[in-house]
Chain A
């Protein structure tokens, strides 16, 4: 058998785990690993400019492909810089492995230079973590890490490796485990058949049903199963922020996003529903509004792969633990066997009611916001333009704030894995590095990062990574010269006292900044230039382009749920309430 050092074993194990790209940043405790990387061609390393970005890029790669992303950082500050990225992935159940260098075993606990208890610091934000103490254990640990990250409810796994474990002078036999089995970890797959049958019967008896789906549909590649079932039943479907693209955004049965900034039609339908069929969603507080007032008439069917999610916030009447794909497949086959049909008459009434809501106050009716004119460009119109020019085919990453909500509302995603955002943690700075991960995965697809001048500055250094590694992403900066979402809350709850949400003319010239990194910069201040410039931007296939678009500062995101209310209690604009 071949004898290899710990560093070489690690890289070889990554290769055997199917890893092609590692996003990372070197440092003392990781140098043996970096030397091993240098001496091979199987695993490619992409040098970022900040460890947070390495993790977000691996995360973006994972969200776009469904594969496990990989990041590599050094001990101490490298490891702590990765924390925000790990927490972001954890909240959205993204499969990822983060490898961190650690001080040598003999120095652990001595407050050594660049020592941080990475396993301890990351503990509450990882699916699992390992501290590897012997070179002999590296291969098996890596196999386990990828297995755990990808299966069940996916999530980030940290592998912390002390420097002496990768020492080049200590060589051991390399063996990649043929099978990974853990007696303590056996994720559930198939749901309970009896429960599934009950669920199907309940669905078939529903008069005012809503299918409410989340990120689970995307993560589990269950979009086709969902579409098949929804079409068969002719039920309306709404997606969470994380679930966008899980059901086609342009489909007639689609009600738009639900929740805090969800559509009037989706939120109102939820409120009046008699059966709510939740799949791969978790009744997050940004969806439900006040739990006491949540959907008072509904029987709730809840499918999730994670038992802790079922009945955590809202008690499910029919809980089913299993993967979305396996449970939906089984439901379809049961529905086919049963002679029952959905209640066509009741559904016709329900659809009539829903179409009425859509026509009255639906998000895609003309009057939802004042139209753009001249130098007053509405952020919503920028997103609509983006949709038009990319023909709905781009991968859209986003940062966090108003721009994120506008993108979620106005870009219609027909396919999963096209909408990449930090929904759970809401991490400003996510958009650009995530876009790099997506671009790396799909070099021939347009990748646009919808961002704000606040968020983009949290990871703007990655423009340099785009240069070095030729990642021609498009940055669509909805520049409202403010921390817009903060400002909106200050308008609504703090009598417009703009405490620290404005920059007092300190914003950089983003065009020059982009150019300084070797990219193309564009500034758009007038509606008339928007379409032409944006077409130009997307025509430059091999350039990173930064579009700095000055949008209306005073715009708010609507609809917005009224705090403490039910799903349907909404502000529809600054003065109108539903």
Chain B
């Protein structure tokens, strides 16, 4: 089962490598990982997604919590939450028919075209991972040159929040 885990981490050198190291050391996979400082620049917020049953998820959360730099850890999978991922896709688009098709695809998926050359269109898209997957399938025939995905960022719905 897919898991989405949020971590609040001291923004210190070596902290991120301890998180990443923990996963390889304990034999867990990381599917996606996003990290950036928060409004408080002494803190980093990480979101990572992984696969695992309940036992493994519990171990991962506990192990992450055990790291000295970790302030808070939440398994977002357990409650209602929002996931968002950003994607940039560069597509081959030299003839007009194709350009029209890319445009309409982008519109349907609520994407925006953020760069244009005579031969390419670059589409920006945000949403949950399934939506981004669906867009890739929709434009695969057209000719994908490059795909960049940010990895998932997540936040709990409602009143719950992760803060020191």
Interface residues of A (CB under 8 A from B): 119-120, 123-124, 127-129, 131, 148, 182-185, 306-308, 311-312, 315
Q: Are A184 and B62 in contact (CB under 8 A)?
A: no
Known: A307-B62, A308-B59, A308-B63. 10 other contacts (CB 8 A): A120-B17, A123-B17, A123-B18, A131-B13, A131-B14, A184-B68, A184-B70, A307-B66, A312-B59, A315-B55
* Bound form: Cα–Cα A182–B68 in Å: 9
Q: Across the two chains, which residue of chain B brings its CB closest to A308?
A: B62
Partner of B66, one of A119, A124, A308: A308
- A491 to B150 alpha-carbon distance, docked (Å): 56
Chain B residues proximal to chain A, CB less than 8 Å = 9-10, 13-14, 17-18, 21, 25, 55, 58-59, 62-63, 65-66, 68-71, 164
Q: Residues of B contacting A120 with CB < 8 Å? A: 17
The answer on a CB contact under 8 Å between A124 and B68 is no
CB neighbours (8 Å) of A127 from chain B are 68
Interfacial chain B residues near A124, Cβ < 8 Å: 21, 25
With a 10 A CB-CB cut-off, give which of B18, B25, B70 has the most chain A CB atoms: B18
Q: Which residues on A sit within 8 Å (CB–CB) of B25? A: 124
B85 to chain A, nearest CB (A): 28
Most buried by A among B14, B55, B66, B68: B68
Nearest-CB residue, chain A, relative to B164 = A183
- Distance of A123 Cα from B16 Cα, bound (Å): 12
Which residues of chain B are near A308, meaning CB under 8 Å? Answer: 59, 62-63, 66
Docked complex Cα distance between A306 and B58 (Å): 14
> In the bound complex, do residue A185 and residue B21 qualify as a contact, i.e. CB atoms below 8 Å apart?
no
Contact call A185/B17, Cβ cutoff below 8 A: no
Identity of the chain B residue whose Cβ is nearest the Cβ of A125 in the assembled complex: B25
Once the chains are docked, how many angstroms separate the CA of A315 from the CA of B63? 16
Q: What are the residues of chain A within 8 A of B18 when measuring CB–CB?
A: 123
**Residue contact B71 to A311, C-beta cutoff 8 Å:** no
Partner of A128, one of B63, B68, B164: B68
B-side contacts of A182, CB under 8 Å: 68
Cα A185 to Cα B70 with chains together (Å): 8
**A272 CA to B36 CA in the complex, in Å?**
53
- Shortest CB–CB separation between residue A386 and chain B, in angstroms? 39
| Partner pick for B71 among A183, A306, A315, CB 8 A cutoff | A183
**Are A119 and B10 touching (Cβ within 8 A)?**
no
Find the A residue at minimum CB distance from B63: A308
CA distance A123 to B10 in the complex (A): 17
CA distance A220 to B148 in the complex (A): 51
Name A123's contact: one of B21, B58, B66 (CB within 8 Å).
B21
CB neighbours (8 Å) of A129 from chain B are 14
Contact flag A119-B68 (CB < 8 Å), given A183-B164, A308-B59: no
Asked if A307 and B65 make an inter-chain contact with CB atoms under 8 angstroms apart, the answer reads: yes
Bound CA–CA A287/B149 (angstroms): 46
Question: In the bound complex, what is the Cα–Cα distance between A315 and B17 (angstroms)?
Answer: 30
Establish whether residues A148 and B68, one from each chain, have CB atoms under 8 Å apart when the complex forms: yes
Residues on A with C-beta less than 8 A from B62 are 307-308
CA A172 to CA B71, docked complex, whole Å: 31
Measured in the bound complex, the distance between the Cα atoms of B18 and A103 in whole Å is: 22
Assess whether A119 is in contact with B21, with CB atoms less than 8 Å apart: no
Min CB gap B98→A, angstroms: 47
User: Given A124-B21, A124-B25, A312-B59, A306–B14 Cβ distance below 8 Å?
Assistant: no
Task: Specify which chain B residues have a CB less than 8 angstroms from the CB of A307 in the assembled complex.
Answer: 62, 65-66
